[in-house]
Structure 1
Amino acid sequence: MKLKQKISRILSMTLAIMLLVPAMCADAFNFTPTSGYDDDGKAIPLELYSEAVYMVNLDSGEAIVDINGEDERVPASLTKIMTAVVLLDKFKGDEQKLKDTYYSAGSEAFDELYDTGASTADIQPGEEVSCYDLLAALLIPSSCEAANIIALNVSDSITEFTDLMNEKAEKLGMENTHFSNAHGLWAQQNYSSCKDMATLCEYAISKYQVFRDIVCLPSYHMASTSYHSDGTDIYNTNLMLDSMTDYYYSYAKGIKTGTLDSAGRCLASYAEYEGTTYLIVTMGAPMD
């Protein structure tokens, strides 16, 4: 299969859930994306609806699609990718240490989340959970309480934790990014761009095997605790990983979804196809 046809196939499938902006001019792309070919072999144009899209070939570093890729936007729960990276940096990606270390937090991690509709893994105040399971809760069902528990244990306060997030963003060269919380619920000065998020994702998947292992899981069983004697089953918000849905795409490897009224639907995902790895970040897809 020709390279452009392979890229088109990856793009069309990866964007199926979230790529949703008015038709863009063809020169916004390095090639014309298609959703396939008709019986006569003619390309069927792929319609994009997200307000910002950035797709890169991780092997060559070539940006394949860049639509408003550097625009500052509300990242919603894509914020949690940086929360995960700060935790992984602290543990140097050591899976066993993550499993052997337990964190908990009191009401200070939960109070702001009540009655917000925030996503959760049903972790309770005072419940001790391994850092590995907190990482899984953060990245798979997008647990907001896991984000705050991590922040309050890594630092003395959530504000100090966001300082670490911003320091890491600066080190990675994320020029259009600033974080003001660990979970991505709407807040002033919590923004990023598709290109910056792609930089962050590339760092995480290239450096940490444990990150790659977790973000591709369609589901996970958290270990038993004093509050959940049978453990807790959690399910990935990225339906491309679930073989029981119409969105399943066998090449997809994760990474994270984000949904917020002020952000629209957002997606960071990567796929490996015939020896090549592609990463895509989209923001601002319609909520419907």
Structure 2
Amino acid sequence: MKRAILFASAAALTLSTAAPAKAPPFDTPARVAYLIDLSSGAVLLSKNADVRMPPASMAKMMTTNVAFELIKKGDLKTDKMCTVRPETWQKWHGPQAGSTMFLSPNEQVSVDELLKGIITLSGNDASVVLAECIAGTEEAFTNIMNENAKRLGLTNSHFGNSNGWPDEGRTYVTARDLATLARAEIENYPDLYKKYYSLTEYTHGQTLGSGAAITQANRNPLLGKVPGADGLKTGHTEEAGYGFTGSAEQNGRRLIMVVAGLDSYNGRIQESVRLMQWGFNAWQSKPLFKSGTNIGSAKVQMGSSSEVPLIAPRDLALTIPAGILSKTGAMKIRYQGPVKAPIAKGQHIADLVVVMPDGEQVMPLVAGEDVGQAGFFGRIWIGLKQLFGMA
């Protein structure tokens, strides 16, 4: 049974913050647009963010998420060799198969190469080969994709294949869910994200005539145009239009954006760059707490300690419109509790919530120390205190 959400607030949890009357204006022809600031959790722009839409190749972020998780656990090696089944090659080669890595039937290709082919080249063939290599069949792999989606909190998304190919509506996402998925890629697998997502080009395969190596450029419209850009994934089908989920980091501040439903390749470039530049230029970051700062505490259930300190896992900041003057704002600590022991140091168990006129900005707080379970006699004593209203 879900515990009630508790709010802990104190006089100490006040600060001088900006409280804008309205956000800086931004208009875009994209049918869907979404922009968040990870330093504060602030949503800077939201246009049809919860409307279901086909993701096209942006679905491949979930394919790489599955692979990254397995690699991190040690269950998948990047040097593992995968076989390109002739049946898979037959379906996913040629102009009718969309973007391709130019794999060959019966070719042996490593997981490392496939990830580069998926992320940099948007290879539909590479996605299916990796899915079959990991799970045996693409259908079994999509079951893992949907399990991961549920675990990550993608509440309005479903995956029917590994590459986002149109499938009569079985595969759908929302911009908010895509941003959540992008955040998981960045925060949960930073080394793998850095290794694979910002390659500007990749070479694989040979031309039929001369046998020349085939080099393709990364379609990411931010690379080389927005400082700090390092991911993530474009998408395009006739059904979905042109879309992009992207991210960039400048001066320790990271933004994630999603645009979708644009009608041209150049339009996707223009709107992606424009939105990301607006996010960095029209908004400013106001520091709140340095990494490791003790912010408060949370009550603990059946633990060796009755409370656990809550600390900032990274530098926390508020996002406000550029040039806005400051005034007092309120903060709260929010968690579901009491938090049940055992608790690991660094575990995300609460959030710092800054209440703004146009919504909340939510930042994570983590346990500052390990808290073990109470011993046998400790549990008896806790039970007696609860029984007689002493706790």
User: TM-score normalized by structure 1?
Assistant: 0.76
Q: Which residue of 2 aligns with 1:15?
A: none
SS of residue paired to 1:124: coil
Query: Which residue of 149, 157, 160 corresponds with 1:180?
Result: 160
Post-superposition offset of 1:84: 0.6
Q: Does 1:205 align with 2:205?
A: no
User: Structure 1's 230 and 214: CA in aligned 2 closer, same or farther, altered over 3 A?
Assistant: farther
Q: What letter is aligned with 2:187?
A: S
Compute the RMSD of aligned alpha carbons.
2.6
Q: Which residue of 2 aligns with 1:285?
A: 262
Give 5+ residue unaligned stretches, structure 2. 1-17, 266-391
Q: Which residue of 2 aligns with 1:110?
A: 89
Distance 2:217 2:66 in 1: 23
Distance 2:138 2:30 in 1: 31
Distance 1:64 1:265 in 2: 22
User: TM-score normalized by structure 2?
Assistant: 0.57
Q: Which residue of 2 aligns with 1:10?
A: none
Post-superposition offset of 1:64: 1.1
Q: What letter is aligned with 1:161?
A: F
Matches of residues 157-168 of structure 1 in structure 2 within 5 Å? 157-168=137-148
| Structure number with higher strand proportion | 2
* Dislocated runs of 4+, deviation >6 Å: none
Post-superposition offset of 1:88: 1.3
Contact persistence 2:57–2:122 (CA under 8 A) = yes
Q: What letter is aligned with 2:183?
A: E
SS of residue paired to 2:222: helix
Contact persistence 2:121–2:202 (CA under 8 A) = no
How big is each residue's C-alpha offset from its partner over 1:240-283, in whole Å with a ceiling of 9 and x where there is no partner? 21x4xxxx222211211001111011101111122210000111
User: Structure 1's 217 and 93: CA in aligned 2 closer, same or farther, altered over 3 A?
Assistant: farther
Q: Does 1:234 align with 2:216?
A: yes
Post-superposition offset of 1:232: 5.0
Distance 1:230 1:158 in 2: 31
Distance 1:192 1:272 in 2: 25
Distance 1:275 1:140 in 2: 25
Q: Alignment length, in residue pairs?
A: 240
Post-superposition offset of 1:185: 1.2
Post-superposition offset of 1:137: 0.5
Post-superposition offset of 1:191: 0.5
Distance 1:57 1:223 in 2: 39
Q: Which residue of 2 aligns with 1:76?
A: 56
User: Structure 1's 239 and 283: CA in aligned 2 closer, same or farther, altered over 3 A?
Assistant: closer
Distance 1:60 1:70 in 2: 21
Query: Which residue of 180, 200, 205 corresponds with 1:218?
Result: 200
User: Structure 1's 145 and 223: CA in aligned 2 closer, same or farther, altered over 3 A?
Assistant: closer
Q: Which residue of 2 aligns with 1:37?
A: none
How big is each residue's C-alpha offset from its partner over 1:148-199, in whole Å with a ceiling of 9 and x where there is no partner? 0011111121111111111110111111101111111111211000000111
Distance 1:83 1:154 in 2: 10
Distance 1:200 1:125 in 2: 32
Q: Which residue of 2 aligns with 1:275?
A: 252
Query: Which residue of 23, 27, 35 corresponds with 1:31?
Result: 23
Q: Does 1:149 align with 2:129?
A: yes
Q: Percent same amino acid among aligned pairs?
A: 27
Give 5+ residue unaligned stretches, structure 1. 5-26, 34-45
Distance 1:108 1:177 in 2: 29
Q: Does 1:48 align with 2:28?
A: yes
Contact persistence 1:148–1:183 (CA under 8 A) = yes
SS of residue paired to 2:254: strand
Query: Which residue of 230, 234, 239 corresponds with 1:262?
Result: 239
SS of residue paired to 1:168: helix
